[in-house]
Amino acid sequence: MKIRFFNLSKRFPERFFKKVAKKVLKAEKKEDSVLSIIFVQSAEMRKLNLEYRKKNQPTDVLSFSGSANEENYLGEILICVPEVRKNARIYNQDFEEELKRVLIHGILHLLGYDHERKGDKMMIKKQENYLSHLKGPDE
């Protein structure tokens, strides 16, 4: 597993994200995957969400499958920390827990899961299952 980080906050070291990603990718039998995690602000996320999903508001996470001309490249996960923090408050969740949730969510999208298909509950079930098996920022 190889992860590239862009605009990573000093509050969360790479290992925080790598441990979450490793757990999901190993369980999905994709340990040899490569992905990029990019941190963006709300204004940039709103622009991207409008362009790609036709929703004129920021979101907490977006995933883009793609080829970087690199073997086993899954794609990019864009995370908007201010939106994650806002959602954590709205849903009365721990911020770190919500950050793990959006990373898992993004990875599952890159692996082809889609919670927006009618009647498809598998993605959210997997997401919450992986989340429940992570015990803190270093687990």
Q: What is the pLDDT of residue 12?
A: 80
What single-letter DSSP state applies at residue 60? S
- Residue 29 pLDDT: 96
State which H helix or E strand residue 42 sits in. helix 42-53
Q: pLDDT value at position 69?
A: 78
Strands (E), 52-123: 61-65, 73-79
Q: Is the dihedral of CA 103, 125, 19, 82 positive or negative?
A: positive
Confidence at residue 116, expressed as pLDDT on a 0 to 100 scale: 77
CATH class, 2-132 region: alpha beta
pTM exceeding the 0.75 threshold for the entire prediction: yes
Distance CA 42, CA 8 (A): 15
Vertex 87, ends 135 and 92: CA angle to 5°?
60
pLDDT at 137: 47
What string of pLDDT tens digits covers the 139 residues of the chain?
Answer: 899 999 988 888 899 999 999 999 999 999 999 999 999 999 999 999 999 999 999 999 999 997 767 889 999 999 999 999 999 999 999 999 999 999 999 999 999 998 877 666 889 999 999 999 886 444 4
Residue 81 CA to residue 58 CA, distance in Å, equals: 11
Handedness of CA 9, 14, 19, 25 (dihedral sign): positive
